[in-house]
């Protein structure tokens, strides 16, 4: 009787863990299904080619927001990737006793800072001195988020390069920087690139740091002007009272998630096959 009870508990609890898995993973499919259904209905060619119309008018697109997102994310990557990469090289190859743990600790700290607070920082650094919102401020905010991600990922992947490769290079007479540039970095390049793609994919989905840095623009923005982005437009359209704007929010959501998931799947399955990607 007692054994029967224990076996029953065993089966029920193990069954429950399977149910937990089912529920959590089905969330992903529910999200994707809703987006594809609602977004697919709303997505048309105008979305990519036309400028947004005023409130209440039907039609129009988000061409400016697409270009704006590319500008802001591109510039953020240009600032953030080199800084993050070189800081990662430092942590893995040159670590000093005092500074390296401090850099590692602050990178983790920055990684955990809520994105809205990074937005405040970019606001004080760029928007306040310039006295107006700009794409540049948005890029600065996103690059601040990107730097710690790339730093820690680069460090991890370079550390995985086997010691024997480094010793081989040194034994052949290479000095340290040559060893790093010609042996260590190429050997770890796949992982480093994966980390970079995942980092950029992550900042591409950020909205909060853009709310009071790059803001929004009805027309084409520019580096020095408020600029519209896809993520801002999803938020702005979704909380509006107009049906046609809701339709556009779904379309923008579908485009955004397609790009972000594509980057993730490409990086994780194709580029990083067999490499375990550390969490950020």
Q: What distance in Å separates the CA atoms of residue 203 and residue 207, rounded to the nearest whole number? A: 9
Among 47, 133, 157, 245, indicate the residue that binds other proteins (CB under 8 A): 133
**One of 36, 51, 95, 193 touching other proteins (CB under 8 A):** 95
Instruction: Read off φ and ψ for residue 249, nearest 5 degrees.
Output: -60, -45
How far apart, in Å, are the Cα atoms of 85 and each of 69, 106, 175, 276?
A: 23, 15, 21, 19
Among 51, 268, 271, 275, binds other proteins (CB under 8 A): 268
Is 117 a binding residue for other proteins by CB under 8 A? The answer is yes
Q: How many angstroms separate the CA atoms of 15 and 75, rounded? A: 49
CA 197 – CA 168 distance, rounded (Å): 30
Applying CB under 8 A, does 146 fall inside the site for other proteins?
Answer: no
| Binds other proteins by CB under 8 A, chosen from 102, 182, 186, 242 | 102
**Of 223, 205, 214, which is closest to residue 71 (Cα–Cα)?**
223
Identify residues 75-94 at the interface with other proteins (CB under 8 A): 82-83, 86-87, 89-94
Rounded Cα distance, 260 and 258, in Å: 6
Give the interface segment with other proteins, choosing from 49-57, 61-69, 116-124, 217-225 (CB under 8 A).
116-124
Residue 70: phi and psi, rounded to 5, are -60, -45
Which residues 174-213 are close enough to bind other proteins by CB under 8 A? 175-180, 198, 201-202, 204-208, 211-212
47 lines the binding site for other proteins (CB under 8 A) = no
Q: Which two tokens stand for residue 64?
A: 């400016």
State which of positions 8-27 bind other proteins (CB under 8 A): 9-10, 13-14, 16-21, 23-25, 27
CB 161 within 8 A of CB 188: yes
Interaction of residue 99 with other proteins, rule CB under 8 A: yes
Q: Which residue has the tokens 């802001």?
A: 72
Map residues 58-77 to x or -, x wherever contact with other proteins holds by CB under 8 A: --------------------
Least Å distance between CB 276 and other proteins?
10
Give how far Cα 103 sits from Cα of 76, 82, 119, 204, 245, Å.
Answer: 21, 16, 22, 25, 45
In the complex, the smallest distance separating the C-beta of residue 153 from other proteins, rounded to whole angstroms, is 13
Tokens encoding 19? 């149910």
CB of 218 to other proteins, least distance (A): 16
The residue to which tokens 């107006």 are assigned: 132
Q: Of the ranges 40-48, 51-59, 66-74, 117-125, which one interacts with other proteins (CB under 8 A)?
A: 117-125
Please tell me the count of residues contacting other proteins according to CB under 8 A.
101
Give the separation between CA 102 and CA 110, rounded to whole angstroms.
12
**Is residue 166 close enough to count as binding other proteins by CB under 8 A?**
yes
If we measure between CA atoms, which residue out of 179, 181, 219, 232 comes closest to residue 72?
Answer: 232
Choices 32-40, 54-62, 63-71, 187-195 (CB under 8 A): range interacting with other proteins: 32-40
In this structure, what token pair is assigned to residue 135? 């794409």
Least distance from C-beta 117 to other proteins, angstroms?
A: 5
In whole angstroms, the minimum distance from the beta carbon of 89 to other proteins comes to 5
Among residues 147 and 196, whose Cβ is nearest to other proteins? 147
């Amino acid at each position: 009787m007692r054994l029967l009870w224990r076996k029953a508990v065993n089966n029920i609890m193990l069954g429950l863990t399977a149910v937990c898995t089912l529920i959590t993973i089905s969330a992903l499919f529910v999200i994707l299904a809703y987006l594809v259904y609602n977004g697919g209905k709303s997505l048309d060619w105008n979305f990519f080619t036309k400028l947004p119309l005023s409130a209440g008018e039907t039609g129009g697109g988000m061409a400016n927001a697409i270009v704006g997102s590319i500008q802001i994310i591109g510039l953020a990557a240009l600032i953030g990737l080199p800084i993050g990469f070189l800081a990662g090289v430092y942590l893995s190859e040159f670590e000093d006793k005092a500074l390296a743990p401090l850099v590692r600790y602050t990178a983790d700290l920055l990684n955990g800072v809520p994105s809205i607070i990074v937005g405040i920082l970019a606001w004080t650094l760029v928007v306040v001195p310039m006295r107006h919102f700009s794409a540049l401020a948005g890029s600065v905010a996103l690059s601040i988020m990107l730097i710690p991600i790339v730093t820690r990922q680069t460090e991890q992947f370079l550390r995985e390069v086997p010691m024997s490769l480094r010793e081989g290079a040194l034994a052949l007479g290479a000095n340290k920087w040559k060893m790093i540039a010609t042996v260590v970095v190429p050997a770890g390049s796949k992982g480093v690139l994966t980390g970079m793609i995942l980092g950029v994919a992550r900042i591409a989905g950020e909205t909060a740091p853009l709310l009071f840095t790059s803001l929004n623009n009805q027309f084409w923005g520019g580096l020095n002007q408020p600029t519209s982005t896809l993520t801002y437009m999803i938020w702005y359209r979704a909380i509006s009272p107009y049906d046609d704007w809701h339709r556009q929010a779904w379309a923008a959501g579908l485009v955004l998630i397609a790009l972000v998931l594509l980057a993730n799947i490409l990086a994780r399955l194709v580029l990083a096959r067999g490499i375990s990607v550390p969490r950020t």
